Amino acid sequence: MTSAPNAAPAAPSLAQANPTWVNSFAQLGPDFYTELQPTPLPSPYWVGRSRALARELGLEDAWLESDAMLAVLSGNQTLPGSRPLASVYSGHQFGVWAGQLGDGRAILLGELETASGAQEIQLKGAGRTPYSRMGDGRAVLRSSIREFLCSEAMHGLGIPTTRALCVTGSDAPVRREEIETAAVVTRTAPSFVRFGHFEHFSYSGQHVQLKALADYVIDQFYPVCREAKQPYAALLQAVSERTALLMAAWQAVGFCHGVMNTDNMSILGLTMDYGPFQFLDAFDPGHICNHSDNQGRYAYNKQPNIAYWNLFCLGQALLPLIEEQDQALAALESYKTVFPDALQARMRAKLGLADVQAEDKELIDSIFRLLASNKVDYTIFWRRLCAFTPQSGHEPLRDLFFDRESFNAWALQYSERIAHVDIGLWTDLMLKNNPKFVLRNHLGEEAIQAAKLKDFSGVNTLLKLLQAPFEEHPGHDSFAGFPPDWAASIEISCSS
């Protein structure tokens, strides 16, 4: 039988669709996880799909169209060759040792062989595990859409992150502050190993397993550390440096994570575990995005120091392998130079400055002070700055400030700094470093409200914009505007 011209590609059967699984984490052995199957969800449906990621993973387009994959990615069927498991870890939560945690609702299907190396595929919200404690093992539609969109948005912004392949939903009820419905996010990353995995084996005295884990991470992801005199100190230093780069990226784009517990810190320096995160609207250095964070431990301006605190915990966890405390402390030192240097580099790029001059630091510090004292919308300021010229009157920018004189003084200083730069190069650099679109809370909220009524067009539109956030996307300016007044009343906490 021949198919009609232009017919949609035939959906692959499970066997045809099955890529190659490597399951290297599973080879660490049963001390690291519990093998189990996801718990099925009734009548799943597609909510959002990242075809860009599917392509990167080498999956055929038909993969994300088929009912067979809908069943697999909702936890209702298992692909042959995958070994689903939930891993055990521990962690410090809000500065306090929380003991054993673990994948309470995430199930690792295994690692797929892809052109860019093996990628773990994880279903978040796929049911209870031995580490669920009091939780139900589920994730709700609202938080799953937020995680899906933000993962792909961060990638679009060039910020290291775990990725999200899709969200599937089900009408199965899930009890939170009110009754919501269940969803599963399919996440991918080279590894979902957290600082908390190391803390777990260190503080429970399982030092053989601690070493096996460190060796696994070095061999898979930090092979150059193996050549160092002290490979485990070298690992700590490498993780510190990647984390420093990540913090610089977050601060520069105005991203608040909200729950920087050590169990949410990636050993690969990726943004992970999207919960009550927020991109800043008005620039407020002390902004707290997590409604449950009463003390402001994870406020925007605290993030770089908290990352260092978390690295210190990782260093302590690695001490049984490093032996000399001084070596561990030395390994952490580079954070203190890598972070500020990386932040300056990111901010210079936002200002369009391709070279380094002594006065740049003051130019950057003074604009941060002005943005804060005038509560200027962070993303809009930087995007409007892309159209700045020393000759223009800078009205659209000046309008963002009530203290116009201070802005004028800064604009003069900036005009002098860019007087001799190549304007073409400068504009290009600005437009590549100042996104037009970020996932503001109210944008996510509007897409979520529509999705609850089974209209997923808002999720799709946001995905398209956020995957290419530096482009103009004519006709979509309303997604790049100021937040509405009601945005300030959105409350997002850990419960999701």
Active site residues: 263
Smaller CB separation from ligand AMP, 103 or 445: 103
> Is residue 138 near ligand AMP by the rule CB under 6 A?
yes
- Assess contact for 240 and 313: CB atoms under 8 A: no
Structure-block tokens of residue 386: 């892309």
CB of 374 to Mg ion, least distance (A): 36
Nearer to Mg ion, 345 or 494 (CB): 494
Task: Point out which span in 48-56, 131-139, 305-313, 402-410 binds ligand AMP (CB under 6 A).
Answer: 131-139
Phi and psi, residue 140, nearest 5°: -95, 160
**Does 273 engage in binding with Mg ion (CB under 5 A)?**
yes
Which of 132, 316, 415, 461 is close enough to bind ligand AMP by CB under 6 A?
A: 132
> Taking CB within 5 to 8 Å according to partner kind, which of Mg ion, ligand AMP, none is near residue 411?
none
User: What one-character-per-residue DSSP string does 56-74 give?
Assistant: HTT--GGGGG-HHHHHHHT
Between residue 229 and residue 268, which ones bind Mg ion under the rule CB under 5 A? Answer: 264
253-292 positions binding ligand AMP, by CB under 6 A = 259, 264, 273, 275
Q: Are the beta carbons of 199 and 314 closer than 8 angstroms?
A: yes
* 103 part of the interface to ligand AMP, by CB under 6 A: yes
Q: Which stretch binds ligand AMP (CB under 6 A): 100-108, 112-120, 400-408, 463-471?
A: 100-108
Q: Around 148, how many Cα atoms within 13 Å sit in the side-chain half-sphere?
A: 35
Residues present in the chain in total? 496
Instruction: For residue 21, give the 3-state DSSP assignment.
Output: strand
Check binding of 444 to ligand AMP (CB under 6 A). Answer: no
Distance separating alpha carbons of residues 451 and 491, to the nearest angstrom: 19
200 binds ligand AMP (CB under 6 A): no
Q: Helices 457-467 and 441-452 sit at what angle, rounded to 10 degrees?
A: 150
How far is Cα 220 from Cα 89, in angstroms, rounded to an integer?
19
Query: Residue 323 Cβ, how far from ligand AMP at the closest point, in Å?
Result: 30
Secondary structure letter of residue 2 according to DSSP: P
Classified as helix, coil or strand, 172 is strand
How far apart CA 171 and CA 17 sit, in angstroms, is 27
Q: How far is the CB of 276 from Mg ion (least distance, A)?
A: 12
251 binds, among Mg ion, ligand AMP, none (CB under 5 to 8 A by kind): none
Which position among 49, 92, 105, 155 is part of the footprint of ligand AMP (CB under 6 A)? 105
Minimum CB separation of residue 139 from ligand AMP in Å reads 7
* DSSP letter assigned to residue 375: T
What residues make contact with Mg ion under the rule CB under 5 A? 264, 273
What residues make contact with ligand AMP under the rule CB under 6 A? 101-105, 131-132, 135-138, 259, 264, 273, 275, 494
